Every structure is written in structure tokens, then in C-alpha cells.
Structure 1
Amino acid sequence: MSDSDMPVIDPKGAQLVYMVIADHVAGQIEAGRLTAGGRIPGELEMAAMYGVARMTVARAVRELRERGLVQTVRGKGTFVL
């Protein structure tokens, strides 16, 4: 994920921050920038990339799992389905 692709995150805005992140990662998957079987960055790395708390990223990853886009393997990471 490159910096030029990063969404504008406004914590005071109408959109939930974790949904903005989840939508952005989902868009990266749809565009083919994140491919099936590929690992997405870890929560701490994503938190730094987006400038948010790790728990916000954790909620975004949970949203992606609920959408059926990623799978988390304990001790290994989160992978695109």
C-alpha cells in the first residue's frame, strides 16, 4: 500500500474510522494490489500507516473477516482469501 493511495481519515467525521480502513483494504484487494494468499500488514504496522490506534485496526480486520475477504491464522498473520 502506497502513501498516495491512503484515504483521508477524519476521526471527527461522519464515517467510522475502522470502516474507512476496512473499505480501503477491500479496495486494495479488489484492485489486485493485495492478492489471494498474500499477507496483509500486521496490526501495529497498519496502525502506524493509517495513524490510528491498534484496536481500530483490529476492528477493521474483524470487519474484513466478516466480509469474507481475509482469514487470520494465529501466530502467522492475516491473509487475503
Structure 2
Amino acid sequence: MDSSRSPKHGVVDAVLDATEPPDGQTTLTLYEHLDPDALDALIDASSDKRSHVEVRFTIDEKLVVVRSTNTILVYETLQVPE
């Protein structure tokens, strides 16, 4: 994650990179999955206190992990056969 950008913008960029929409357009609205301002506040507060935080949530069958160490990871979620 680019430390000059907010975590919420980094998440959108990372998810778009991982999903690679065919026409470059997306209907991704982060606020449908979590509060983007709360994510920014949590990550920023963690950086100021020198403690590490990790936030996990899913977006369209992707697991998104945001760490206060300027790391965003996007994983395919595992599908367990029934």
C-alpha cells in the first residue's frame, strides 16, 4: 500500500487489481462492505500508537486483509464442497 494514500483508496486499488474487470469499470462501493472512514481512522490510529492492527473482510468472494504495516492482501476465498 502506498503510504501517501488512505487505506480505503488502497483497498479499492488492490481489489480492482485482483479482480481485473474486463472494461476497467467496476461497481465496487466499499461502503457496502465496511465503513471506509472507520477503516482509515483505525489504521491511522494504530500507526500513531506504534501498534499493529489487521482488519479482515470479504468483497465478492475475495478475502481482503488490511494491515497497519502498509500492507493490503487480496485472496480468493476457499469454496468448501458440500
TM-score by length of 1: 0.28
Structure number with larger C-alpha Rg: 2
Name the one with the larger helix percent: 1
